[in-house]
Structure 1
């Protein structure tokens, strides 16, 4: 069995649209207003163009995907890297492909290339298993919010990928907060 971790290309858009749409069935059933849940090929192509969209290809077929947000659209909530649009082909779920891809992105991309202390993602409280799954995978809740879109409470979660760098990050944040108050 061959496993290849790589950036998605535009020619992957149709397969990624299928994987994402099928994986987000529960999201649509819950009525969550997540763009990935309704993504057509054009929106997938836009995601590939505007973000770092990674895939895990197993024996020549894409089985999982996750994107690293390239712009700083979430600066209002976190200054740490943010991953989104995490999806696994439902026919391959339970084989560990999603977790393998997310671990690879956390380590090889966020820790080693971006050189960040931690990574963040968000999920809905009303989803039946995502919040607990991410917590089992080492993420911790750091902020709860409601955008007023009908999605209810969303949780921003963080996973430390470089403990030494994270200690420095927290110390600097605390010092900056003290300086602002003085």
Structure 2
């Protein structure tokens, strides 16, 4: 399959919102309060404006989105490296590896090769039954936990993308 990857524009806001709300429906039913799970159009517009919001398309249809919060941006991640946020895959696609393909492209092409970052971080809810394990299988390691007042503990994970650079930055 050939996918198209690109930065979202404000014109994409309604489609990003629709995709996010459908993808995060199980999160809402678990009672986990992620921003993407209960977003409105203005929140999506702010996300696209403030962050590097990417979309993945297949045959002209948006099938996934992810945002990267930058250390110098208005809402940096906790580890001083680009922070993956608002990751959603169209639930109608099923388990076809689309999310893994997109996440790998973001990690390698955008964060490692374009931004030249030695690592990437992300956060997820301790209450989620499988997300932490999935990220750990992808090479992420737990580095911190914090109560952000959302009704769960946020577990922060980091993945080293450039061993030689990461070791020298410590």
Question: Which residue pairs with 2:137 in the alignment?
Answer: 136
1:18-51 C-alpha deviation (Å, 9 max, x unpaired)? 1100111122112222211111222112211111
DSSP-derived class of the 2:157 partner = strand
Partners of 1:130 and 1:93 in 2: how far apart? 16
Alignment root-mean-square deviation, CA: 1.4
Contact 1:117/1:162 (8 A) holds in 2: yes
DSSP-derived class of the 2:114 partner = coil
* Structure 1 unmatched ranges of 5 or more: 171-182
TM-score using structure 2 length: 0.92
Question: Which residue pairs with 2:93 in the alignment?
Answer: 92
TM-score using structure 1 length: 0.87
How far did residue 72 of structure 1 move?
Answer: 5.4
Contact 1:65/1:98 (8 A) holds in 2: no
How far did residue 133 of structure 1 move?
Answer: 1.0
1:29-108 matches, within 5 Å, as: 29-70=29-70, 71=73, 73-74=75-76, 77-108=78-109
Q: How many corresponding residue pairs? A: 168
How far did residue 129 of structure 1 move?
Answer: 1.2
DSSP-derived class of the 1:119 partner = strand
DSSP-derived class of the 2:144 partner = strand
Partners of 1:57 and 1:2 in 2: how far apart? 9
Partners of 2:47 and 2:116 in 1: how far apart? 23
